[in-house]
Amino acid sequence: MSLKLYELVAPTPNVRSARFCWRTRMALAHKGLSAESIPWCFTEKTAIASHNSEKVPVLIDGEKSVADSWTIANYLEDTYPTGRRCSAARAGAP
């Protein structure tokens, strides 16, 4: 398993500031998973276009790509059911 996460970067190196990316990071941590960070800037839309998205976060899990923090949380819950449950995922709350 090799998870990769496209995340919005701030002007300061190693600073991730997008709240939706943080939501995904928290869902990963809650499930006991980690992902390699792929820094992304607004001007790099072509970098994620092949994943059917124009915005981050985008999670890459092998050959599968998932966009949108809520969709990613549900994907993690369905794909990695062991460990702690993301309580809001699949419960119907946005």
Q: How far apart are CA 24 and CA 50, in angstroms?
A: 20
| Buried/exposed code over 30-39 (b: 16+ C-beta within 10 A; e: otherwise) | bbebebeebb
Two tokens, residue 51: 């994943």
Answer CATH for 3-79 from 3.40.30.10, 3.40.50.800, 3.30.70.20, 3.20.20.70? 3.40.30.10
| pLDDT (tens place) for every residue of the chain, 94 residues total | 699 999 988 766 666 667 888 899 999 998 999 999 998 887 888 888 888 888 899 999 999 999 999 999 999 999 998 766 665 555 555 5
Order across the sheet with 36-40: list the strands: 36-40, 3-8, 58-61, 64-67
E strand or H helix at 5: strand 3-8
Question: What's the DSSP call for residue 79?
Answer: H
